[in-house]
Every structure is written in structure tokens, then in C-alpha cells.
């Protein structure tokens, strides 16, 4: 038979199996629905039974309905290509691999879940170690139709005469395909070095490093799905949290886990870790460096202990016809005394009242001594402690503190200078105070970690009910009373596993914030030091270790193959970052396209039209998405230039938001601006240059950005 006919015949064989799988899926769905209906019937029946019977029937109903709903949820997930692989073993046994395990009515396996041990050979078998696999087949489907098959022969000597082998390179085909708006899962083509990381033990800390495009994000997400499948009992209940650098990124990866049937994972961007606020704006690099530094901890601790701006500076209260008076200094002494005993101010309100009463008693004794009188201290404390005017004073002098309010106070430069004495430099204080005064544009991503730190430092406000949200400011306190009940309590901190992506960029303060959520968690931490935009790696490393706590197991993996970029694109990126990265830290790009990146010269008069032309050319050249990457400050302007052009396929993205994303083609606008806008500029440029899978056009008004390494072989101009 000719190759196309063999291929067609093989596709037909796989199609008949896939048809069986979908028929069975429909049956299982019906069964689950019937079970749910039966559960409800039991519930109705229970109303007629005695109390004891009723309780056990209702329990049975709940269990049935719960299981039925779970099964339906799993069966209803949108499985693009439910079956994607097949293994033919030397024994003649055939195993189909898919996103979900399904058995037929006789309990025979129709599809094995990709995470099950029986499917491991699909990823782990090699020609050197074939694990009894003669032929490994990748089956590519669209919906329920088989489009193509692609075989790998692992034991050529054992291929039976009647076993056809078709196609070559499912991986290369997958990598060459155009990209959509959302990341796809890679279950069908996970590589051996990646599989090892996905299936690594769950306890302790698993660290994945590797250059751009090596599949770190893909691997981390597949690992989350794998861990939940294998260790659902240990990990499922408490939940898995995935932290990504930005909302654009979490949106980009949001479809990967559901496509594997996994909906029990919470995705959060760094600006959304704290419940109740979503921040997307970034501070300029020098300011972000201050806000992210561990020094802020000391500043915030002092800030919560300072006198609140509206606190009265004098207390007067009448006791037995005499005015007892405490001046500003005496009140300050009382405040300091309460704080030296430790504890968050919101938890110290009773102690503050007691200490203030003691000070009033001292004052009464002082007056009495002058007149040779005595004072009954206990009586004074009891009486004043019950007085309404005492409590009126207390609520303004020792008010409930809200994190957002305390952070805003630091817009007063004198107040900030008091809190930051010997910790921040004068110019840093001025910069930080100005940023806290400018609240017109809302909180920045770096502010979120400060607010979370303050949340802990001020302590929870006195609560009417438990498990109520910890308000960030007084306004929210009112709003929250109406907020819908959430599944998990506010500021939940008991996740069983935390995945941190792009971890090289977390500031020390952000590590503290994330660490707080994982007191009992095991961790998967993904990053590439060469892409880091954080200026003080040593300080971040220290905060990171503290976040992990005393985890004893620490395993490290490095991924070395760049699956995203064509070799032509990656060569340019490597050239730009040369001198900032050790040779061994750069991955190896496996795919060539013959398309060299274009570098075009622009100036103020031609920039706009050049961006429009380049975007149009690339939109015509590729089927998928085109990203236009520029410095953060330029985004609104570039968006205006491109308004109305292919909105679904064209995205304008700021340099810092381009982390982790990918496009078929990229237009990079003014690369030197990416270098100067950030403290680790060349690395940010490296990130931007490594976003394209197929084509790259750089528009630049100067050449300094190319000077990173001076590698040979300039790209086309
Ligand atoms: N085994 C694989 N099969 C198919 N595609 C893969 C494979 N591994 C990685 N890819 C693809 O390569 C691209 C890069 O993967 P991913 O985004 O996970 O890399 P990364 O290491 O996180 O990159 P960066 O550090 O630049 O963000 C994605 O499109 C991913 O789907």
C-alpha cells in the first residue's frame, strides 16, 4: 500500500476506537445522571421515615449526589482530543492513552489516564530503553474525529510484518503549529526529561529551572494535574495554588488544567494574591525595588506602631470632680508601653484600654499626693473603664487599623521618615512617599505584598463573626458584609501544594506573601535566573528559603531544550544576553524555519507607520497570534496606533507583562527602551525577544541593544 493509503487505513482504525470511547462516555454520563436522580428520590423518600432512618437516607442521598456530580463534572470537561496516544507492546497488548481513564462495561480499559503508571511508558520509553514498547503512536484529533497519526518505532527488530508505521515527528509537528490566544496542554508530546519532573515525588520543594521556551510552565501545570490525580487524598482537599506573574499570564494558561479535567486548582497573579484587590499596574523599577525589599518589613512594623494621624493629642476626663489630663507625651508613653508588649494593634485594644486606665490612675495619685490625699486605684479603674466618654476617646486614640489606610498614611513624608529612620535613604523615602500620595491610579502589584504584610502586622479587626473577610479599609468593611459566601475562608493559608511560575521575579516581600499561603504546603518552583528582573537575587533567595520553611526534601531539575523559538530567533536573543548569562544557562533551540529576524531602523517620524506595517506583514504571514511588545510606558500609544487591526489576533503587551507568553510572531518596538526602563533591562529584553515561535521583527532607532555580546553573524537588516 502507498504511504497515504496506509495512513488513511490507520486513521480509520483509530477512528473506530475513538468512536467506541465516545459511545462509552455517553453511557457513563447517562449512568451518572441516573445516579443523581436516584439520590434525589431517596431524599424525597426520607421525609416519610423516622428520624434515625431519615438521617441515614439523607446521608446516602448526599453521597450519591456528590459522587454523581463529580463524575459528571469530569465527563463534561472539554476534552480536545480525549484519546491522544497508543502503545503497542511486545506482548501484543495495546494501551490507549488519554486525558481520562475509561473502562468498558466489562471493566476492560478503553483509555488509560495519562497520569496512571500504565501510561508512563508513553513518555518514558526511548530507543535505548524501550520498556517493551514496539510502537508509540500519537493520535491527533479534532473533537471526535481522528485527523492524523504519527508513529515512533522503539524496537525496530520487533515490529511484526503486519504493523504499519506512519509519519515522523509528532513533536516537531506540534511545535510548528500556530498558537492561539491560550496555551495548550502538551499531554500528547511530553518529552522524557519533562516527564521526569512532572512525576517527581510531591513532598518538599521541587525546583525547575531552564531557559525560555523549555516548557517550564507547561511542565509545572502538568505536574499539578499529575499530583492531584496520584495524590488526590493528600492534596485535593486543601487545594493547589498556582501563582503566575500577571493576570494576562494566568488568563493565557487558564485552559491547560481544565483541558486535562482538572478544575480544582486556583490560579492567581501576583497582583491578586490578596483577597479583595486586583492590581495590574507596575511601579517604575527603582520604586518597585524599594517596595519589594525586605527593609520594608521594618518600615511597616514601625508604621503600625506610630500614632494614627487623627488621634487626639490630649486626654481630659473628669473623675470625682477633678479633671485628669494626659498630654501628648504621656499618651505617647502609654502607646509605646502597649506596643512593647508585642502583638498586632488590633489585638491589643483591651491592653491599650487597661494601660490607659493605669496611666489615669497614676495621674490621679500624682494630684492626690500634692493634696495629701489617697486614691482607690481599683475603684477608679473600674469606674472610668465603664464610662462612655472613656470609650469614645479610646476608639479614636487606638482606632481599628486597616492595611490600606496605614499604607496611605505613608504618603506623609515626615511620617514615613519616622518609620524608615536608619532603614531607607532620603531619596528612597521621597520616592516612596510620593507614590503613596498618588492614589489616583489604584494599587500597584508591588503594593499588594505590602498590604498583605500589613494585614498580618495590624491583625484582624474585631470581628462580629468568624471566617469573615479581613477588610483592607473601612469602606470595604461595609461592602464585605454583603459579599457572597466564598468556598474558602478569606486569606486562606492551608494550600497543600503551591506552584510558583516565573519565580525568578518574586521580590522578597512577595515571597513572604506567597509563603504565608503555604505554611503546610509542598512546592513546585519554576524559574529562569537569566530572565530575572529582580535586582537583588541574594535577598530574594533568603526570603524564598524562609517561605519554604523547614522542608527537608529539595530536588532540582534543569530543562535544556527550547521548544518555543526557532533557532534563528533564539540566536538573536542569545546574542543580546551574552555576557549576562553563562553559556550553560542558555537552552538549545531545536527547530529551524529559515526565517531570520528582521531588524529595521525607525525614527520619530517613521515609528508609527513602521509598527503598523510590521504588524500587518506578520498578521498576513502567520495563522495565529502576533504580539507587539514595547516598554511599559509606550503601551497606550502603540495600542492607539494599532486600533482596529485584527483585534482577535493582535496583542499589544508591555515588556514586563510579556513574561511567560508566546505568539507566532512578534514586533518588538524600541528594544533599548526595554533596557533602560528596568534595573535588569537586558534580561527583560531577552524575555521579549524569546516570545515568538516563528517570526520576529525588531524596530529600533539605535543599535545599543545589540551590544550585549557582539556575536558573529548579524541578522538580516
Ligand atoms: N513536549 C512538548 N510538546 C509540545 N510542545 C511543547 C513541549 N514542551 C514545551 N512545549 C511548548 O513550548 C512552548 C514553551 O513552553 P513554556 O511556555 O512552558 O516554556 P517556559 O519554559 O515556561 O518559557 P518561558 O520561561 O519563556 O516563559 C509552549 O508553547 C509549549 O506548549
pLDDT value at residue 685: 93
Give the Å distance between the CA of 645 and the centre of ligand 1: 28
Ligand 1 pocket mutation, candidates 85, 179, 196, 217, criterion most atoms within 8 A of CB: 217
Looking at ligand 1, which atom is closest to the CA of residue 563? 12
Q: Which of 218, 683, 684 to mutate to test the pocket of ligand 1 (most atoms within 8 A of CB)?
A: 218
In ligand 1, which atom is closest to the CA atom of 174? 4
CA of 665 to the centre of ligand 1 (A): 16
Query: Could you tell me the distance, in angstroms and rounded to a whole number, from the CA of residue 561 to the centre of ligand 1?
Result: 9
Q: Residue 486 has what pLDDT?
A: 39
Q: Is 228:266 a contact under the CB 8 Å cutoff?
A: no
* Closest-lying ligand 1 atom to the alpha carbon of residue 527: 25
216 labeled binding residue: yes
Say how many Å lie between the CA of residue 178 and the centre of ligand 1: 13
Q: How far is the CA of 172 from the centre of ligand 1 (A)?
A: 13
Q: Measure 257 CA to ligand 1 centroid, in angstroms.
A: 15
Annotated binding-site residue? 217: yes
Residue nearest to atom 23 of ligand 1 (CA): 213
240-244 β-sheet, strand order? 265-269, 240-244, 497-500, 522-527, 205-210, 554-559
Of ligand 1's listed atoms, the one at least distance from the Cα of 660 is 27
Beta strands in 99-144 (DSSP E): 102-103, 109-113, 133-142
Q: Which residues of 448-457 are buried (b: 16+ CB within 10 A; e: fewer)?
A: bbbbbbbbbb
CB-neighbour burial class of residue 157 (10 A; exposed 0-12, middle 13-18, buried 19+)? exposed
CA-proximal residue: ligand 1, atom 24 (nearest): 212
Q: Is 340 annotated as a binding residue?
A: no
Q: How far is CA 68 from its chain centroid?
A: 31
Q: Which residue, judged by its Cα, is nearest atom 1 of ligand 1?
A: 190
- Interval between CA 199 and ligand 1 midpoint (Å): 17
Output DSSP code: residue 235.
I
- Take atom 3 of ligand 1 and give the residue whose Cα is closest: 189
39 assigned to a ligand binding site:
no
The residue to which cell 507596575 is assigned: 282
The size of the chain, in residues, is 717
CA-nearest residue, atom 9 of ligand 1: 215
Residue 624 marked in a binding site: no
How many Å apart are CA 710 and CA 367, to the nearest integer?
A: 82
Q: Return d(Cα 159, Cα 162) in angstroms, integer.
A: 8
Which of 179, 213, 533, 687 should be mutated for ligand 1, with most atoms under 8 A from CB? 213
Closest atom, ligand 1, to C-alpha of 191: 1
Which atom in ligand 1 lies closest to the alpha carbon of residue 221?
18
Cell 498576513 sits at which residue?
620
* Residue 82 CB contacts under 8 Å (≥ 6 apart), including other chains: 18, 21, 22, 25, 98, 99, 100, 111, 141
Pair 691, 671: CB distance under 8 Å: no
Residue in this structure with the C-alpha cell 533596557, named with its chain if needed: 675
Res 487: pLDDT: 63
- Pocket perturbation via mutation, ligand 1, pick of 564, 585, 663 by most ligand atoms within 8 A of CB: 564
- Predicted confidence at residue 408, as pLDDT, reads 94
CB proximity list for 243: less than 8 A, separation 6 or greater: 268, 269, 270, 273, 498, 499, 500, 501, 514
* pTM above threshold 0.90: no
Mean pLDDT by 10 residues, the chain (717 residues): 80 94 87 76 66 69 70 66 90 91 88 91 83 89 87 81 74 70 79 90 92 91 88 82 88 78 83 91 90 96 94 92 92 94 91 94 90 88 93 94 95 95 94 89 93 95 57 46 50 89 92 93 89 78 88 88 93 88 81 92 96 96 94 94 86 90 95 86 90 96 77 36
Identify which of 602, 592, 604 has the alpha carbon closest to the alpha carbon of residue 567: 592
> Which residues fall within 8 angstroms of residue 600, CB to CB, at 6 or more apart?
610, 614, 697, 698, 699, 700, 717
CA-proximal residue: ligand 1, atom 15 (nearest): 215
Atom of ligand 1 nearest to the CA of 691: 26
Ligand 1 pocket, residues with Cβ under 6 angstroms: 171, 174-175, 184, 186, 189-191, 194, 210, 212-218, 528, 563-564, 660, 662, 690
Choosing from 183, 184, 186, 194 the residue with most ligand 1 atoms within 8 A of its CB, the one to mutate for a pocket test is 186
Q: How far is the centre of ligand 1, averaged over its atoms, from the C-alpha of 563 (Å)?
A: 6
Whole-number pLDDT of residue 479: 40
What H or E segment, with its residue span, contains residue 540? helix 537-548
Tell me the three state secondary structure of residue 445: helix
For ligand 1, the distance from its centroid to the CA atom of residue 217, given in whole angstroms, is 7
Q: Which protein residue's CA is at the shortest distance from atom 13 of ligand 1?
A: 564
How many angstroms does the Cα of residue 502 sit away from the middle of ligand 1?
A: 13
CA pair distance 58, 64, nearest whole angstrom: 10
Three-class secondary structure of residue 299 per DSSP: helix
Distance 216 CA to ligand 1 centre (A): 6
Ligand 1 centroid vs 558 CA: distance in angstroms? 14
Amino acid at each position: 500500500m502507498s504511504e497515504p493509503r496506509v495512513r488513511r487505513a490507520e486513521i480509520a482504525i483509530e477512528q473506530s476506537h475513538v468512536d467506541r470511547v465516545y459511545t462509552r462516555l455517553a453511557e457513563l454520563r447517562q449512568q451518572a445522571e441516573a445516579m443523581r436522580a436516584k439520590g434525589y428520590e431517596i431524599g424525597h423518600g426520607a421525609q416519610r421515615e423516622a428520624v434515625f432512618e431519615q438521617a441515614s437516607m439523607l446521608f446516602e442521598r448526599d453521597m450519591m449526589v456528590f459522587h454523581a456530580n463529580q463524575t459528571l463534572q469530569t465527563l463534561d470537561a472539554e476534552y480536545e482530543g480525549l484519546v491522544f496516544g497508543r502503545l503497542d507492546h511486545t506482548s501484543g497488548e495495546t494501551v490507549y492513552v488519554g486525558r481520562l481513564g475509561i473502562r468498558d462495561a466489562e471493566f476492560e480499559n478503553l483509555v488509560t489516564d495519562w497520569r496512571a503508571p500504565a501510561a508512563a511508558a508513553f513518555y518514558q520509553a526511548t530507543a535505548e530503553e524501550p520498556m517493551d514498547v514496539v510502537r508509540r503512536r500519537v493520535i491527533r484529533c479534532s473533537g471526535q474525529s481522528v485527523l492524523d497519526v504519527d508513529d515512533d518505532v522503539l524496537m525496530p527488530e520487533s515490529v511484526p510484518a503486519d504493523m504499519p508505521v506512519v509519519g515522523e515527528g509528532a513533536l516537531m509537528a506540534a511545535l510548528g503549529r500556530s498558537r492561539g490566544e491560550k496555551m495548550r496542554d502538551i499531554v500528547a508530546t511530553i518529552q522524557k526529561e519533562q516527564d521526569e519532573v512532572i512525576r517527581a515525588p510531591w513532598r518538599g520543594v521541587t525546583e525547575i529551572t531552564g531557559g525560555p521556551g523549555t516548557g517550564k510552565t507547561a511542565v509545572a501545570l502538568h505536574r499539578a494535574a499529575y499530583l492531584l490525580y496520584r495524590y488526590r487524598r493528600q492534596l485535593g482537599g486543601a487545594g493547589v495554588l498556582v501563582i503566575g506573574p500577571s493576570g494576562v499570564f494566568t488568563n493565557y494558561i487558564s485552559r491547560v488544567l481544565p483541558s486535562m479535567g482538572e478544575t480544582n486548582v486556583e490560579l492567581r497573579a501576583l497582583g491578586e494574591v490578596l483577597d479583595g484587590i486586583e492590581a495590574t499596574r507596575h511601579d517604575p523599577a527603582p520604586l518597585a525595588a524599594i517596595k519589594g525589599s525586605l527593609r520594608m518589613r521594618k518600615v511597616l512594623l514601625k508604621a503600625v506602631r506610630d500614632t494614627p494621624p487623627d488621634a487626639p493629642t490630649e486626654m481630659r476626663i473628669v473623675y470625682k470632680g477633678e479633671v485628669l489630663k494626659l498630654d501628648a507625651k504621656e499618651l505617647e508613653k502609654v502607646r509605646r508601653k502597649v506596643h512593647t508588649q508585642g502583638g498586632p494593634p488590633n489585638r491589643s485594644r483591651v491592653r491599650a484600654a487597661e494601660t490607659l486606665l493605669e496611666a489615669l490612675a497614676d495621674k490621679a495619685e500624682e494630684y492626690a499626693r500634692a493634696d495629701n490625699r489617697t486614691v482607690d486605684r481599683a475603684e477608679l479603674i473600674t469606674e472610668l473603664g465603664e464610662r462612655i466618654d472613656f470609650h469614645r476617646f479610646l476608639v479614636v486614640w487606638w482606632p481599628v487599623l486597616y492595611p490600606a489606610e496605614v499604607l496611605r498614611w505613608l504618603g506623609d513624608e515626615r511620617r514615613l521618615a519616622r518609620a524608615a529612620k536608619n532603614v531607607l535613604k532620603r531619596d528612597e523615602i521621597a520616592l516612596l512617599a510620593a507614590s503613596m500620595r498618588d492614589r489616583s491610579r489604584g494599587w500597584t502589584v508591588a503594593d499588594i505584598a505590602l498590604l498583605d504584610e500589613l494585614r498580618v502586622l495590624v491583625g484582624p479587626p474585631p470581628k462580629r463573626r468568624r471566617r469573615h473577610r479581613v477588610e483592607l479599609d473601612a469602606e470595604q468593611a461595609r461592602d464585605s458584609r454583603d459579599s457572597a459566601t466564598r468556598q474558602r475562608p478569606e486569606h486562606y493559608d492551608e494550600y497543600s501544594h503551591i506552584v510558583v511560575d516565573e519565580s525568578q521575579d518574586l521580590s522578597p516581600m512577595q515571597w513572604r506573601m506567597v509563603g504565608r499561603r503555604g505554611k503546610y504546603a509542598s512546592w513546585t518552583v519554576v524559574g529562569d535566573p537569566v530572565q530575572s528582573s529582580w535586582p537583588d537575587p541574594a535577598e530574594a533567595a533568603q526570603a524564598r528559603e524562609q517561605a519554604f520553611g523547614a522542608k527537608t526534601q529539595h530536588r532540582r531539575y534543569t530543562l535544556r531544550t527550547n521548544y518555543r523559538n526557532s533557532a534563528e530567533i533564539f540566536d538573536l536573543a542569545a546574542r543580546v544576553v551574552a555576557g549576562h548569562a553563562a553559556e550553560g544557562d542558555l537552552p538549545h533551540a531545536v527547530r529551524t524555519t529559515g526565517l531570520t529576524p528582521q531588524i529595521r531602523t525607525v525614527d520619530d517620524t517613521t515609528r508609527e507607520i513602521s509598527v503598523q506595517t510590521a504588524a500587518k506583514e506578520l498578521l498576513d504571514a502567520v495563522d495565529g497570534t502576533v504580539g507587539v511588545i514595547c516598554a511599559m510606558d509606550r503601551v497606550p500609544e502603540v495600542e492607539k496606533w494599532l486600533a482596529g487591526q485584527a483585534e482577535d489576533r493582535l496583542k499589544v503587551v508591555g515588556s514586563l507583562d510579556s513574561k511567560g507568553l508566546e505568539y507566532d510572531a512578534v514586533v518588538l518596538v524600541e528594544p533599548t527602551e526595554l533596557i533602560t526602563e528596568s534595573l535588569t533591562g537586558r534580561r527583560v529584553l531577552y524575555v521579549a525577544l524569546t516570545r515568538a515561535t516563528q517570526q520576529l521583527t525588531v524596530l529600533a532607532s539605535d543599535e545599543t541593544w545589540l551590544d550585549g555580546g557582539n556575536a558573529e553573524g548579524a541578522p538580516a537588516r
